[in-house]
Amino acid sequence: MSSLGVALPLVIDDADGFRMNKDIRSVAKQNLKMLILTNPGERVMDPNFGVGVRTYLFENFGQDTMSKIDTKIREQVKTYMPAIQLQRISFSNTDPDNNYLGIAIIYSIPGLGTKDLLEITT
């Protein structure tokens, strides 16, 4: 079967050399994850790309911080991944004492007729 791209993180695979993404759903999920975890300014030639969710870990947690993250995710997805429609963004396990934040994003890709869940813990 053909591949669409290498899966991250890199893992050696006997069949393809590295583990590969073989369907568009896994590529979209990986790209969404990278969009959320990339810090603005980190991507070469596109300083506006990325949510930079880890930069929020040391802010005072509260509804305002979660609202800022939610807004930033929605703006970035609208700009860089317009084929994805965000259904719901929820925050869990917020623990300001341990600088821990869980984010669950339910999204759909109408062109593919698919719906999926992305969970990120930072």
What structural domains does the chain harbor? 5-121 (3.10.450.40)
Q: How many Cβ atoms sit within 10 Å of the Cβ of residue 103?
A: 22
Whether residue 96 is preceded by a cis peptide bond, meaning omega within 30 degrees of 0, is: no
Structure tokens at 118: 């992305």
The string of pLDDT tens digits covering residues 85-106 is 999 999 886 556 666 788 999 9
Structure tokens at 119: 């969970």
- Does residue 1 carry a pLDDT above 70? no
Give, for 108, the enclosing helix (H) or strand (E): strand 100-109
The string of pLDDT tens digits covering residues 8-48 is 776 787 777 777 777 888 889 988 999 999 999 999 999 99
- Mean pLDDT along residues 60-77: 90
Please give the pLDDT value at position 105.
97
